Structure 1
Amino acid sequence: MENLLRKAVQIKKQFFINKLIQSGVYKKNNRHLYEWTLSELEREYKQIKQENKKLILK
């Protein structure tokens, strides 16, 4: 069970890393994306997604 949860977290982290890289984010505050926690990645992804929505609606 523990390995399954760890794998699921890694898959989700990789998803957010890929999306952030596609958006042009590679590093922030001198930290590479792979150093971020899942929560940090998800927060940054949601923020960028929200900003892009605002740009599209203008």
Structure 2
Amino acid sequence: MFPLSLLRKQVESRKTYIIEQLLRKGVYKKDNTQLYELTLNELEEAYKSYIGGADL
């Protein structure tokens, strides 16, 4: 089982990656919410809707 701190780091790393990809495409908000305020799941949904593709 993953230590909680490692899991948290991985989630934050994934969030950062997705936010960077969205920013590169000119996406700064989703439904008037700043990207950094979104959960990982919400960021993944935004990525799929704005960028498309399953290779996230």
Unaligned runs of 5+ in 1: 52-58
Question: So what's the TM-score if we normalise by structure 2?
Answer: 0.82
Match of 1:7 in 2: 9
Cα RMSD after superposing both structures: 1.4
AA aligned to 1:32 is Q
The structure 1 segments of at least 4 consecutive aligned residues displaced by more than 2 Å after TM superposition are none
Which of these two proteins has the greater Rg computed from alpha carbons? Answer: 1
Question: So what's the TM-score if we normalise by structure 1?
Answer: 0.79
Alignment counterpart, residue 16 of structure 1, candidates 18, 37, 48: 18
Give, in angstroms, the shift of residue 28 of structure 1: 2.3
Unaligned runs of 5+ in 2: none
